[in-house]
Amino acid sequence: MWISRAWGPAVAALARSYPAVLLTGPRQVGKTSLLRHQYPEHEYLTFDDPALARQAESQPDQFLASLREPAILDEIQYVPSLFRPLKRRIDAARRPGRFLLTGSQTFALMQNVTESLAGRCGVLEMSSLSFSEARAAEPRLSDLEMLVRGGYPQIHVGDFERLGDFYTSYLATYLERDVRNVRGVGDLRDFDRFLRAAALRTGQLLSYSELARDVGVAPNTAKSWLSVLEISGQIHLLEPYHRSLGKRLTKSPKLYFMDTGLACYLAGIDGVKTLLRSPLAGALWETFVVGQIIRKLQAARERPPLWFWRTASGDEVDLLIERGGRFTAIECKLTETPGRGDARAFGALADFYGADTIDAAFVACRTSRSHLLGDPSRARAVGVLDLVDALKS
């Protein structure tokens, strides 16, 4: 079963503009499947094949000369010496759409793209399935089922008796292939414990010192390992918003796992009933909502600044999308029946910065029908799918 991906039009648009397109993102989110489905006539080569990777590394010019263009080059992070010859080949004939590249995002990969392919390569980051993509394939899929299962396509098209079977394998692959060779990660067992401790903090303010203490590593190690998670697309760190009144606002970022299925697995949550009994339920719902919005923006090739807002006195808005100095403000509430009190933070935000700074205010909840809450901010209660639809530019 093929699940249509929202990133397809973005890839096509970049391929019409650039000689090369790089599709990055975590393992198994569907990068290769998307390109092969969308461009079935392109030559396909994967550097997951060690012999092919050695050939491309040792004789990059000859390798590129032998290609039948246009070509899909999969897992290009394994052949860093290919980037400079690729630049020379592109410069010889700057036709659009010659090379479609994929790579699990790493520091080295992005450095090579920046240094060798600047101005020649469009870059697009991809995440696992959005709720709207999965729902199109499974119309009865609920928001909480999606939250627990996560968005890795193999879960939705495969036949797993237990979600844990997929995530156990995924985690082992991630640790062995993406983490083992990263500088600063010496003990994979320690990193595995760190990953699980981080999952318990999704949707919450991040304290590097507390996280480091719980795992038994130095705070600088915790910062370094969080960078590994961030650059490999596993987490997103959301920074606090402030203007000149920054001293009154919190300075710590909030931590979000990009796939709630992985976060649930790491936290020991294996079903909707377990989720609803968990003290992490609200934080995971917030993580789910924020992740869906990020996916929408990725696929639309939009990069507006994203923030959260929180004062020292406890007023907080979970997410601010900033455009032209004005905000779309979003609160995340795990309820089917939100009330005016759930929109109270919007009033505090308006008092702080002025009502004219808020374009729209939403309470992202589990309601089956979008409706106004009747509060002074005219906030609207919306389900996740309606929220993502409302954010279309």
Asked if the structure places residue 294 within a domain, the reply is: no
My answer on whether 143 and 248 are in the same domain is yes
Q: Does 92 fall in a domain?
A: yes
Predicted local confidence at residue 376, as pLDDT: 78
What is the total count of domains within the chain? Answer: 3
Within a domain: 24: yes
Whole-prediction pTM value? 0.93
The answer to whether residues 29 and 62 belong to one domain is: yes
Q: Which amino acid is at 126?
A: M
Q: Residue 151 belongs to what H/E stretch? A: none
Residue 298 lies in a domain: no
In a domain, 105, yes or no: yes
pLDDT of residue 312: 81
User: Are 115 and 142 in the same domain?
Assistant: no
Give the residue from 70, 102, 125 where a domain finishes: 125
20-53 pLDDT, tens digit each: 999 999 989 999 999 999 999 999 999 989 999 9
Q: Which residues pair with 316 in a beta bridge?
A: 310
Judgement on whether residues 100 and 138 belong to the same structural domain of the protein: no
Looking at the structure, tell me whether residues 79 and 30 fall in a common domain.
yes
Element (H, E) at 22: strand 20-24
Positions in the chain short of pLDDT 50 = none
Same domain flag for 108 and 154: no
pLDDT, residue 107, reads: 60
Residues 274 and 328 placed together within one structural domain of the fold: no
Is 297 domain-assigned? no
| 165 and 36 co-located in one domain | no
Degrees to nearest 5, angle at CA 183 with 177 and 58: 65
Determine the pLDDT at residue 33. 96
| CB contact at 8 A, 184 and 224 | yes
- Per-residue model confidence (pLDDT) at position 393: 54
Closest CA to 127 of 100, 98, 105, 96: 105
CB 179 within 8 A of CB 188: yes
- Asked whether residue 331 falls in the same domain as residue 239, the answer is no
Tokens of 78: 């394994």
Q: Are residues 141 and 275 in the same domain?
A: yes
CATH code for position 24: 3.40.50.300
Q: How many CB atoms lie within 10 A of CB 50?
A: 9
What's the CA gap between 306 and 292, in Å, rounded? 13
Return the amino acid letter for 33: S
H helix runs in the chain, sequence order: 8-15, 31-38, 50-58, 60-65, 83-92, 107-116, 131-137, 143-149, 153-157, 163-173, 188-199, 208-215, 219-231, 260-266, 272-277, 281-299, 344-353, 384-390
The confidence score (pLDDT) of residue 157 equals 86
Q: Same domain for 262 and 276?
A: yes
Q: Which residue do the tokens 């609920």 mark?
A: 142
C-alpha dist (Å) from residue 252 to 149, 203, 218, 319: 29, 12, 18, 14
Last residue of a domain, one of 77, 94, 125: 125
Round to whole Å and give the CA distance between 134 and 302.
22
Choosing from 252, 286, 320, the residue where a domain stops is 286
Q: Does 52 fall in a domain?
A: yes
Burial 57-71 (b: 16+ CB within 10 A, else e): eeebeebbeeeeebb
Virtual torsion, Cα 65, 70, 72, 77, nearest 10 deg: 50
Residue 358 is predicted with a pLDDT of 94
Structural domain of residue 169, as residue ranges? 131-286
Residues 82 and 15 in one domain: yes
- Cα–Cα dist 159/236, whole Å: 29
Residue 299 in any domain: the answer is: no
Q: Are 358 and 327 in contact (CB under 8 A)?
A: yes
